[in-house]
Structure 1
Amino acid sequence: MSDSVSNRGLPLTTRGALVLAAFATALAFSIILPNLPSRIAAGSGFDDPATISRHTGLMTAAYTAAIFVSAPFLGRISDGWGRRPVLILGLAGFSTSLMLFELAGDLLLLYTARALAGVSAAAITPVALATVGDWSPDDGWRARRFAWIGAATMIGFMVGPLLGGTLSILSSKQAQLEAGAPLFWPIVLALVSACVIARTVPVSKRPSSSHANAYPPRSR
């Protein structure tokens, strides 16, 4: 790949995968929220609203705290290993956490799934932004791509509650096991993103003449 091509920034396919990864992360988080009290009640057997509310808050806090604690360490790891392996591990871990949440039958597994989701989320959107920053040819290019990732995150946060709320209404009439059904879509989106990232994100952290061939050939 010539320097003139590398100066155009990340290929469109790579940028799309990073945007999709950010969207899937936000979508999964916001889909779960409306159904979290019912999942806690089903998994723990609690029927006291105050107890369920307390665990709902603690479980949400576990997710946020996991991001807060792990994000700096994962950022340093991505500086050393490169962005691609951290992104792939983050997306794989996030998909695993959603599967675990869907299958969890007790309170401990629900907490474990949410904490794992938080750690994995810290390896996705922040590292996706760092990847864009590494390969930005100029400030304007970087700002526009940051905006796309931010917009994808906000759309995920807005769409998720709508889907999750609809599920919450339906789950009162159907089996409790159906409460995790919408998580299928964030799982698929995350895994698709991981596959594209594995093929298209450069191995090296930032471009230079010594690794000008880090990108795969770009199709027209």
Structure 2
Amino acid sequence: MKDNAVPQKPEDKLDFKKILPVFIIILIDLLGLTIIIPLMSFYAASFGANATTIGLLGAAYPAMQVVGAPILGRLSDRFGRKPILIISQIGTLLGFILLGFADAIWMLFAARILDGLSGANISTAQAVISDITTENNRTQGLGLIGAAFGLGFVVGPVIAFLSLAISGNNYHVPAFVAAGFSLISIIMTTVMLKETHPARKSVSLTARKEISLQLFFATLKKPMVGFLLVMIFVYQIAFGGFQQLLSLFTLNRLGLNASGNSIIFVWVGILVVSVQGY
């Protein structure tokens, strides 16, 4: 039987040597985030925050990302991916340090707002992967970010559980551990990551905005694209609510503390990793 399969071009094969440093950097970076996520509600509750305040705290980070990410993305086109990624990671590091020193609810908000404004780590890493992949293997390359998320959700909560167990449920300790992983990611980015998009003076920072409400609504009108964007939006609402409020639910219904909640997030991570190939 004749094989009609089109042979894969050498340039279309995913170069794992190029992708591996990005994957490791993303994974280490995400470990800091996934250490914190299972504990934030408990951390806020320890300062007397109610469910509404905890929900607002959870919304602070993504809300600030909406503001900061497009600006940092534009800057990465102008000045290169590597310096902007490092700046973003430094913001995350400072946010975790502030979280570790927090002694009032406003400091938790300040930490998450700072992290959100500088939170272009993943989007910049996605841009790096897009730079070093072709149209035919880009999906496979970007899929590794999903795998890093899954592994982060497995390993991060385990580290959170261990740090709580060692510290006697001191919520400040996991924050400093997360800061440690963030510092490692900065060092790895500085040493391991090669610039994939050199600075370009031709990219104007004062040019017409690429993102506008007019363009947004025009994109939504496109049949398949609009549908997918709405589905992603609905999914993010559901998953975001799950992340932020699950710990309150398990505490009130099941009596689980922060350590028990970390184990649930480990299971979530295992499920995410399991379905990545499908």
TM norm structure 2: 0.58
Larger radius of gyration: 2
Find 1:139's aligned residue among 135, 140, 162.
Answer: 135
Give 1:175-214 correspondences, 5 Å limit.
Answer: 175=170, 177-196=172-191, 200-202=194-196, 204=198
> 1:148 maps to what in 2?
144
In 2, are the aligned partners of 1:33 and 1:164 still within 8 Å (CA)? no
SS in 1 for 2:198: coil
Return the offset for 1:104.
1.9
Cα offset for 1:151?
1.0
Equivalent in 16, 26, 33 of residue 30 of structure 2 = 26
Deviations 1:21-75 (A, max 9, x none): 3223332222112222342244x3x2xxxx3433322111101111223222222
Q: How many residues align?
A: 191
Distance 2:16 2:198 in 1: 15
Which residue of structure 1 aligns with residue 39 of structure 2? Answer: 35
Describe the shift of the 1:181–1:87 C-alpha distance in structure 2 as closer, same or farther (beyond 3 A). closer
The Cα of 1:205 is off from its aligned counterpart by 6.1
Contact 1:34 1:168 in 2 (8 A): no
Shift of 1:119: 2.4
Report how far residue 177 of structure 1 moved.
4.3
In the alignment, which residue of structure 2 is the partner of 1:3?
none
Letter in 2 for 1:72: P
Contact 2:45/2:54 (<8 A) preserved: no
CA distance in 2, matches of 1:146, 1:73: 22
Q: Cα deviation per residue 1:53-101 (whole Å; 9 max; x = unaligned)?
A: 3332211110111122322222222122221221111111111211111
Alignment-derived partner of residue 211 in structure 1: none
Deviates more, 1:81-90 or 1:140-149: 140-149
Q: Percent identity?
A: 26
The answer to whether the 8 A contact 1:21-1:125 is kept is no
Distance between the aligned counterparts of 2:52 and 2:129, measured in 1?
A: 39
Aligned to 1:103: 101
Change (3 A) 1:179 1:71: closer
C-alpha distance 39-130 of structure 1, shift in aligned 2 (>3 A): same
Residue 77 in structure 1 maps to residue 71 in structure 2: no
Mapped contact 2:164–2:173 kept (Cα < 8 A): no
Q: CA separation of 1:7/1:52 partners in 2, compared to 1, >3 Å: closer, same or farther?
A: same
SS of 1:105's partner is coil
Q: Which amino acid letter does the alignment assign opposite residue 53 of structure 2?
A: H
Correspondence for 2:204: none
CA–CA separation in structure 2 for the residues paired with 1:25 and 1:60:
19
Q: Distance in 2 between matches of 1:143 and 1:7?
A: 11
RMSD: 3.1
Question: Residue type of the partner of 2:185?
Answer: A
**How far apart in 2 are the matches of 1:130 and 1:179?**
30
